Amino acid sequence: MPPDHDNEGRHPALRQRSATVLEEARLWAATKYGYNSRRVRATMNENLKTRTNYDAHPWQLDVAEALLLRVDRLVIAGTGSGKTTPFLLPLLLPENKGKFALIVFPLLSLQAKQVRLI
C-alpha cells in the first residue's frame, strides 16, 4: 500500500495552531511572570551567534521558547537541519547559568559536533 501523503495539506494549519498555542503561552507568562519573548529570543540568538557564528532559525527559537514555557513540541526535520539546537538555546540564557541538559546522541559524530558547539 502506498504511503498516505494527505497530511502535507495539513501542515499550514498545524503550524498556525502551533503558533497560536505558543503565543497564548507567551501572554500567560508575560502576565504572570513578566516574561519578555523578544528579550529571551534576542538573548538566546546573540549568545548562539557569539559561540558558533550562526544565527538561530526562527523555528529553532520557537521550539526553544516552547521548552522554556513548558509547551509540548514535535519537530520533524531532516538530518543536519538543526533539531538539537533548540534544546541548547535555553542554556545560553544568563538565568540558566550552571544548569545543564542531558541529551543522548545515538551517533558519536553528532555528539562530538554538539559538544564543540557548547
Domain ranges across the chain? 6-117
Q: Give residue 7's pLDDT.
A: 52
Whole-model pTM? Answer: 0.79
What's the length of the chain? 118
What nine digits make up the cell of 116? 564543540
Estimate the share of the chain in helix, then strand, then coil, as percent rounded to the nearest 5: 65, 0, 35
Residue type for 5, please?
H
Q: What is d(CA 33, CA 35) in angstroms, rounded to the nearest whole number?
A: 5
The per-residue pLDDT for 78 is: 82
Render pLDDT for 69-86 as a digit per residue (tens, 0 to 9): 999 988 888 888 898 899
| Residue 93 · residue 40 · CB < 8 Å | yes
6 or 14: whose pLDDT is higher?
Answer: 14
